[in-house]
Amino acid sequence: MQRKTERLQKILSANGITSRREAERMITEGRVSVNGIQAAIGQSAQIGVDCITVDGMPIIPLEEHVYLMLNKPRGYLTTSYDDRGRQTVMELICDIDSRVYPVGRLDLNSEGLLLLTNDGDFANAVMHPSFNKQKTYEVTVRGDVKKAAELLRLPVSIDKFVVQALKVELIDASPGGGTLFITIAEGRNRQVRKMCAACGLNVDTLRRTSIGELCLGDLKTGKWRHLTENEVAAMFNERKTQ
């Protein structure tokens, strides 16, 4: 099959190197070359015809896509590589032969459902707002959880953006805190933690339990599994209703 000319960030994403956003950063840092010449943002190439390298290593076209669900533990970075030598989620899937990368992020102290793939279109379907992927988090907190549960249902300004929880469920409450299920759609950096802080809560644990129709279920902490064909299809088919 003849391959077409595509933007470099799409090529890197489609061939299991990294996400499109991360690919742009790698290009900006000068880590990507085409035919021996340092690449630039916006540049296109043709894989299989042009010699495309990342950190001096040539990209090999993928023949099969891989889709994984990981139950991320606390203390692991959601990245393919850390130049400071810290633990990354890639260490938890080291027995996978295919090269994959994380879709989106969970911060160092957060845990739960994380997707990994080498399919750029799938990653885009998970992260792009037009696909309306709702995400639910189980959050244990300290503070006036009953009052905060009401505040969390209202719009709140976070990093100059107005965000709002789609759903807030109070699971249990005590004089010192409690547990909430919080569902959001935006997925901005540390959004749930910042929303809780804005409502007077201190987060003790934060665990993502679902993305769209995908649920963590009984997958053990630190373990992973392949997505089923139906699960992959569902992530492509869920789109934002107008």
Residue 188 shares a structural domain with residue 81: no
Residue 178 shares a structural domain with residue 199: yes
Q: What is the DSSP letter of 176?
A: T
| Percent with pLDDT over 70 in the chain | 96
For residue 3, give both structure tokens: 């391959």
- Asked, for residue 121, whether it belongs to a domain, the answer is yes
Residue 222 shares a structural domain with residue 122: yes
Residue 219 shares a structural domain with residue 109: yes
Q: Which residues contact 195 (CB under 8 A, 6 or more apart)?
A: 152, 156, 158, 163, 165, 182, 184
Range of the domain at 119: 67-130+214-237
pLDDT at position 228 is 94
pLDDT at position 194 is 94
Question: Alpha helix locations (H) across 118-240?
Answer: 120-127, 145-152, 191-198, 229-237
pLDDT at position 3 is 61
Read off the pLDDT of residues 176-205 as tens digits, 9 standing for 90 and up. 999 999 999 887 889 999 999 999 999 999
* DSSP letter for each residue of 48-70: TTB-EEETTEEPPPPSS--EEEE
Whether 114 and 89 have beta carbons less than 8 Å apart is answered as: yes
Please indicate whether residue 82 is annotated as part of the active site. Answer: no
Read off the pLDDT of residues 28-78 as tens digits, 9 standing for 90 and up. 999 999 999 999 999 999 887 889 999 998 987 776 889 999 999 999 999
pLDDT surpasses 80 at 136: yes
- Asked, for residue 1, whether it belongs to a domain, the answer is no
Whether 86 and 44 have beta carbons less than 8 Å apart is answered as: no
Residue ending a domain, choose from 58, 78, 102: 58
pLDDT surpasses 70 at 97: yes
Residue 124 shares a structural domain with residue 165: no
Residue 189 shares a structural domain with residue 148: yes
20-24, 106-110, 146-150, 224-228: which range is least confident on average?
20-24
Select which of 82, 83, 107, 119 is catalytic.
107
pLDDT surpasses 70 at 2: no
Residue 159 shares a structural domain with residue 44: no
pLDDT at position 44 is 92
Amino acid present at 168? V
pLDDT surpasses 80 at 87: yes
Q: List the CATH number of the domain containing 88.
A: 3.30.70.580
Residue 155 shares a structural domain with residue 109: no
Whether 240 and 125 have beta carbons less than 8 Å apart is answered as: no
pLDDT surpasses 50 at 242: no
pLDDT surpasses 70 at 155: yes
Residue 115 shares a structural domain with residue 140: no
- Asked, for residue 242, whether it belongs to a domain, the answer is no
Q: List the CATH number of the domain containing 36.
A: 3.10.290.10
Total domains in the chain come to 3
* Residue 64 vs residue 151, higher pLDDT: 151
Q: List the CATH number of the domain containing 170.
A: 3.30.70.1560
- Asked, for residue 114, whether it belongs to a domain, the answer is yes
Residue 123 shares a structural domain with residue 147: no
Residue 197 shares a structural domain with residue 171: yes
Residue 72 shares a structural domain with residue 185: no
Mean pLDDT of the chain: 89
For 195, other C-beta atoms within 10 Å of its C-beta total 24
pLDDT at position 73 is 97
How many H helices and E strands in the chain? 6, 17
